[in-house]
Chains A and B, each alone.
Chain A
Amino acid sequence: TQLLEQSPQFLSIQEGENLTVYCNSSSVFSSLQWYRQEPGEGPVLLVTVVTGGEVKKLKRLTFQFGDARKDSSLHITAAQTGDTGLYLCAVRNDYKLSFGAGTTVTVRA
């Protein structure tokens, strides 16, 4: 059983559309991270959310941590082809990162 469940598994949209991907768990976390992994590259940290109900914005990306700190969402506004990639959520226990399976996002021109 995955500690973190990500949905959907795949998402294909047209450039300019909005999208939301989800990361859910039955466990409570002190913090949660989102990464983006482009094809042929390693994951790159986008954001860390710490406080329940927290909303963080990174340009067109909006990250939200659930009030109960069990879930999180990533919303992309007006997606661009450069947003294509694998979006991973992860939690840290001391040094150890545990990742979800990711959502593969494809933005078509």
Chain B
Amino acid sequence: EAGVVQSPRYKIIEKKQPVAFWCNPISGHNTLYWYLQNLGQGPELLIRYENEEAVDDSQLPKDRFSAERLKGVDSTLKIQPAELGDSAVYLCASSLGTINEQFFGPGTRLTVL
């Protein structure tokens, strides 16, 4: 069974440019999470989806970050415009309901120059 798929794996952009990350969760997992992991830190939750609904986006910086999960399957996280401090790894995770184990994708490593 395929795990959580993320693309691209690496992205280098200049500041003020837009960037988008894509995530395909494990088949059948209705709950999807986006996390931010800074260097030397653990992941921090940005947003959680239950099917197509964003049920917790309290940690998402809404001035520049947006996310969507239109059909309740794959999801896109966007940053516009990117800032130097956005350089980090963006992890996607999925689970079958909220009480079960979260499975993480390999992440997208973003470098903003």
Contacts and interface: CB of A to CB of B under 8 A. Distances in A.
Contacts, number: 46
B106 A40 contact: yes
A9 to B, nearest CB: 8
What is the interface residue range for chain A against chain B? 10 to 19
Contacts of B40: 9, 101-102
A101 B101 contact: no
Nearest to A40: B106
Interface of B is mostly: loop
Nearest to A48: B101
A40 B108 CA distance: 9
Which of B43, B93, B99, B101 gathers the greatest number of chain A CB atoms within 10 Å? B43
A45 B98 CA distance: 15
Interface of B: 4, 9, 31, 40-45, 48, 56, 91, 93, 98-99, 101-102, 104-107
Interface of A: 9, 40-45, 88, 90, 94-97, 99-102
